Amino acid sequence: MDVIAGNLDVFGQGLLISIQISVSTFVLAGGLGLLLTVCRISPVLPLRLAATAYVELVRSIPLLVLLILFVFGLPEIGLVGPLLGTAVVAMSLYWATFFSETMRSGVRAVPQGQIEAARALGFTFGQVLRLVVLPQALRTIIQPLASLLIAIVLNSSLAAAVGVTQELTGQTQLLDQRYAQPLVTFGAAAICYVAMAFIIGRSAGYLDRRLAVQR
Amino acid sequence: MFGRTKAQNRPEVTITAQEDSNSNSLIRIRNLNKYFDSFHCLFDINLDVALGEVVVVIGPSGSGKSTLCRCINRLETISSGVIEVAGKPVPAEGRELAQLRAQAGMVFQSFNLFSHLTVRQNVALAPIKVRRLSKDRANALAMELLGRVGMADHAHKHPGQLSGGQQQRVAIARALAMEPRVLLCDEPTSALDPEMIQEVLDVLTGLAAEGMTMLVVTHEMGFARKAADRVVFMDGGRVLDVAPPEQFFTNPRNDRAADFLAKVLTH
Ligand SMILES: Nc1ncnc2c1ncn2[C@@H]1O[C@H](COP(=O)(O)OP(=O)(O)O)[C@@H](O)[C@H]1O
Ligand SMILES: [Mg+2]
């Protein structure tokens, strides 16, 4: 236990970096996922096909393989970026596909009649999306989005496998190498992850109750 | 044979295609055909609705009444023919279409209020976003219209908290907030419990009396008699008769219309 008490700052630092990685990934993947979703419901066939192909392809690659491809593969063809940034980009490209699937299910839950009513009032395609579809779609997918965020947080630990040692799992590995007490160190790391998942889950429950759409 | 009514003083409905444009017509439909893939849904529809006129469309289920309404503001594409609203052909796409849609307000059978917005926001949204009124003006307009349909006291509620009749009255206010030239109503009372039908019909009758141009699909024969200037009878995707309500109800010229009336009126 002294290992933990003596290294609280290490865990704190690791936790902070993990949160930063997760939040950046969530935001980037959310933006790209939204773009993919809009393409997939747009009236333009090539956009629909391209977005669908992207989702089907990228979600079929294991995240670890994608990370290795980006961090170790791309430099072989001269594409070198900062390690942390590259890892975040790879994770965002991956999680965007799940965002897109989740958002699409939310969009499908918006009654078609409301979309027609909006069109009949003279809203453009963009306005229908922004004013009617997305606000309702987002309300119905708060819980699935929370699950997605939890998955992003937990899997941010994969970054350690490609050398991002600053984040929580990476820091824990370093402590493990120093003290050789994996049960204690990784046990503590696990508690940190559980705590984050718990907080996300609870917040989502609260938001869901506050924003639920009454039908 | 049928429909060649040229009732004096009445804006005319042309069943034949060759009629010249009627400068009085707010809606002018010529040779409209609509296919769903290979299914021919509307056959050579010709219809005019004059400024201030109330036209009621009746006919059996599946006869194409909804599709006709939806073609007028291009919720459905048309396969051939011409539809003009206020003298302009309905454009196929884009901003112009949005503008034209705003001139033809639509009231749906299933209300279709935006469930994430309050009653007031439902009415004010399009004036703000499409007509570009200031928020204050749009809200004032919304409250005025809600007053007219008797819903001002419910302005802060969400649609899920209202009865069907109340929702439909809000939906009418929402359509009116765009200050449309014509109101298209597709079976506005068909989804309502019997005790709520009258409150919605009262609002529509009031609008008719104020001179609102309306095309109303309905099975409410009492409303048709009272509010309609003309009744259009559709069956199998065709307009089979157009007549003043008096004549249509007391002495239908078309056999299928007579059949239909016999069935509906005995119920
Ligand atoms: N989106 C659609 N796709 C295929 N067929 C349709 C569609 N909408 C309507 N129809 C068909 O067109 C016919 C007319 O439908 P509709 O206009 O809804 O009739 P009504 O409103 O008079 O009951 C029906 O046979 C219906 O099945
Ligand atoms: Mg119908």
Mutate-to-test residue for ligand 1 from B32, B34, B35, B39, highest number of ligand atoms within 8 A of CB: B39
Contact list in A for residue B114 (CB cut-off 8 A) is 114, 117-118, 132, 136
Give the C-alpha separation, B89 to B32, whole Å.
Answer: 12
Nearest residue to B2 (alpha-carbon basis) of B259, B237, B225, B257: B257
Strand partners, B234: B239
Structure confidence by residue, pLDDT tens digits, A71-125: 999 999 999 999 999 999 999 999 999 999 999 999 999 999 999 999 999 998 8
pLDDT at B102: 80
Report the pLDDT value the prediction gives residue B177, as an integer from 0 to 100: 96
Looking at residue B19, the DSSP 8-state letter turns out to be P
User: Which residues, other chains included, contact A19 with Cβ-Cβ below 8 Å and sequence gap of 6+?
Assistant: A153, A196
Structure tokens at B195: 């005790």
**Cα A170 to middle of ligand 2, angstroms:** 63
Write out chain B's pLDDT in tens, 267 residues. 333 333 334 444 444 433 444 567 899 999 999 999 999 999 999 999 999 999 999 999 999 999 999 999 899 999 999 999 988 888 777 777 877 888 899 999 999 999 999 999 999 999 999 999 999 999 999 999 999 999 999 999 999 999 999 999 999 999 999 999 999 999 999 999 999 999 999 999 999 999 999 999 999 999 999 999 999 999 999 999 999 999 999 988 889 999 999 888 775
Residue of B114, B118, B181, B186 to mutate when probing chain A, most A C-beta within 10 A: B114
Quote the CA–CA distance of B112 and A111 in Å, as a whole number.
8
- The answer to whether B60 and B260 have CB atoms below 8 angstroms apart is yes
Q: Please give the sequence-ordered ranges of beta strands (E in DSSP) within B187-264, or none if there are none.
A: 213-217, 230-235, 238-243
Has the ipTM of the complex gone over 0.90? no
- Residue B169: what pLDDT? 97
Look at residue B11 in the predicted model and tell me its pLDDT: 42
A19-67 pLDDT per residue, tens:
999 999 999 999 999 999 999 998 899 999 999 999 999 999 999 999 9
Tokens, residue B32: 């409209």
Adjacency order of strands within the sheet including B230-235? B104-107, B182-186, B213-217, B54-58, B230-235, B238-243
For A130-143, the pLDDT digits (tens) are: 999 999 999 999 99
Phi and psi (nearest 5°) for B163?
Answer: -75, 165
Residue B157 has a CB neighbour count (10 Å cut-off) of 16
Which residue in chain A is spatially nearest to B164 when comparing CA positions?
A215
Contacts of A179 (CB under 8 A, 6+ apart): A3, A185
Atom 17, ligand 1: residue with shortest CA distance? B64
- CB-CB contact of B124 with B139 (8 Å): yes
Distances in Å between the alpha carbon of B54 and those of B124, B170, B260?
26, 21, 21
Distance CA B205, CA B218 (A): 13
> In one letter, which amino acid is A23?
V
Q: Contact, B55 vs B230, CB < 8 A?
A: yes
Q: What is A2-211's CATH topology?
A: MetI-like fold (1.10.3720)
Cα B162 from Cα A16, distance rounded (Å): 47
- Whether residue B3 contacts residue B17, with contact meaning beta carbons closer than 8 Å, is answered with no
Smallest CA-to-CA distance from B223 within B243, B235, B208 is with B208
Q: Does residue B38 line the site of ligand 1, with CB under 6 A?
A: no
| pLDDT for residue A150 is more than 60 | yes
Residue A46 · residue A39 · CB < 8 Å: no
Q: Considering every ligand atom, which ligand is closest to the CA of B110?
A: 2
What pLDDT score does B109 carry?
Answer: 96
- At B9 the pLDDT is 41
Which of B34, B67, B74 best tests ligand 1's pocket when mutated (most atoms within 8 Å of CB)? B67
Instruction: Write down the domain spans for chain A.
Output: 2-211
Chain A residues closer than 8 Å to B174 by CB: 117, 121
Instruction: Tell me the C-alpha distance between B17 and A43, whole Å.
Output: 34
Tell me how far the alpha carbon of residue B66 lies from the centroid of ligand 2, in angstroms: 4
Cβ contact B161–A214 (<8 Å): yes
Instruction: Please report the pLDDT score of residue B60 as a whole number.
Output: 95
Residues 41-80 of B with CB under 8 A from A: 73, 75
Q: Taking 80 as the threshold, does the pLDDT of residue A201 lie above it?
A: yes
Q: Which of B32, B58, B56, B57 is nearest to B46 (CA)?
A: B32
Q: Where are the alpha helices (DSSP H) in A42-180?
A: 45-58, 63-68, 83-108, 112-120, 125-127, 134-140, 142-155, 168-179
CA distance linking residue B112 with residue B233, whole number of Å: 26
- List phi, psi (to 5°) of B36: -105, 105
CA of A157 to the centre of ligand 1 (A): 54
Q: How far is CA A183 from CA A161, A176, B12, in A?
A: 19, 9, 89
Name every chain B residue with its beta carbon within 8 A of the beta carbon of A136: 114-116
**Class of the CATH-defined domain B6-264:** alpha beta
State the DSSP H helix or E strand holding residue B106, giving kind and residue range, or none if neither: strand B104-107
**Chain A residues with beta carbon closer than 8 angstroms to that of B190:** none
| CB-based contact B116 A139, cutoff 8 Å | yes
Q: Are A139 and A212 in contact (CB under 8 A)?
A: yes
Question: What does the domain layout of chain B look like in residue ranges?
Answer: 6-264
CA-proximal residue: ligand 1, atom 7 (nearest) = B36
State which amino acid sits at residue A131: L
Give A8's contacts (C-beta < 8 A, 6+ positions apart): none
- Within 8 A of A117 by CB-CB distance, chain B residues are 106, 108, 112-114, 171, 174
